[in-house]
Amino acid sequence: MDLSVVGCGYVGLVLGACLAESGHDVVCVDRDEERVADLRRGKIPIHEPGLEDLVEQNLAQGRLRFTADLGSAVRATDVIFIAVGTPQDEDGSADLQHVLDVARSIGDHLDGEKVVVTKSTVPVGTSRLVRATIEERSSHPVHVCSNPEFLKEGAAVDDFMKPDRVIVGVESERAQRILEDLYAPFVRTGNPILFMDPASAEITKYAANGMLATRITFMNLIARLCEATGADAEKVRHGVGTDSRIGPSFLFPGIGYGGSCFPKDVKALIRTFENLDQDGALLRAVEATNEEQKRLLLDRVTRRFGEDLSGRSFAVWGLAFKPGTDDMREAPSVQVVDGLLERGAEVRAHDPAAMENARALWGPKVRFCETSYDCLNDAHALLIHTEWQPYRRPDFQRMKRLLHSPVILDGRNLYEPSRMREMGFEYHSVGRPPVSTEALSLTGEPHGEIEEAAARR
């Protein structure tokens, strides 16, 4: 099948490369000619495990090509995917400017019956709007479908190749047959292709991300309760997650969600509720609670060391919002590092993938270290933002020798408190009792008085 993908960002590039890998001829379109030139050389603009090899292989086999000429791509293909960005507008809603620009261009170049698929994350009603926009400019038949993506950054290729389900919103039998044939190779193990109307497909995407954001936030709220009472959030998580009605996914206590999807999609869903005069109070609470949680490590630093951090240095492990990606959009590390710098601290940082993006953000204000251990020399504390694998089993003796004081503020609960106690660290994680014998706890109570404080509450 001849396919085109408009937009060579995260979604479009994964989509195009994976469809080419399944044997289709795919042309990916982007108006950025410099990006197109890089992609033709196999240079991709994002960090995503396995994607670069996939692009190189399919370029070499001739199944994948890149162009800035949208018109030629529309005329040469049977199915056109729209995978351009839908950035957040000033009011929190999804900005459809790029989607509708593409729809207008498709209408201008349509030369026969085509299937147009919105892959971008778009609010309910967008498929109808895209179809109307195309039909204003063309008399050729067009079948507009919604096919939202469910890709996790850091595992996107695997998610596409082995989806747990494929959601497709269609309004014609022809479009359904084509997309069923297109996705059949990816669901051979029996996972479903779920066909529905386009509006239901559009809402499904937002509902899924809203649900996951809510689970994360709810667990972080429970972690606060655990800290206030001396309970252990990890044990609570295990107790809740083994309930078959709930399950363990997205219940890890931490410092909040970030990235390009959850924050933007929660805001857009809130705005959709408002536009329809519906009550979105639950999602507003999720958003507000998550913003508070992202500041957790900064609040703990100031409680431990004071508001004036002049003359103090802090090591930061992890800058990306999650492991497996270089994406720092809405990452908790950004608020924390900004707060440390504003208070006069020296910051030394390491991340296996996000250093280039971080340099573009902070420049010389932050010292970027070649290895994670280089950050630690004479630092007053280590702050952990991202659960990269190399951070999980470090040399604790070496860490203790390098740090000015053996203080670890762990936003991802990488280590066992009992081990930290044995190693002589002051250790503060999320939702678990702190490990310390001298300093005040980061809830403001002396460590020796935690149980009494919990009883008073």
Residues serving a catalytic function are 261
**Six-digit token string for 171:** 């309004």
Q: What are the phi and psi torsion angles at 64 (to 5°)?
A: -130, 130
Alpha-carbon span 217 to 221, nearest angstrom: 6
CB 73 within 8 A of CB 2: no
Alpha-carbon span 395 to 380, nearest angstrom: 18
Residue whose pair of structure tokens reads 């082995």 in the numeric block: 162
Nearest to 205 by CA among 282, 123, 286: 123
Question: What is the b/e burial string over 129-164, where b = at least 16 CB atoms within 10 angstroms of the residue's CB?
Answer: bbbebbbeebeeebbbbbbbbbbebbbbbebbeebe
**Six-digit token string for 112:** 């026969």
Q: Count of CB atoms within 10 A of residue 42's CB?
A: 14
Q: What are the phi and psi torsion angles at 33 (to 5°)?
A: -70, -30
**Six-digit token string for 361:** 């953000």
Single-letter code of the amino acid located at 262: F
CB 119 within 8 A of CB 83: yes
**Six-digit token string for 304:** 């431990």
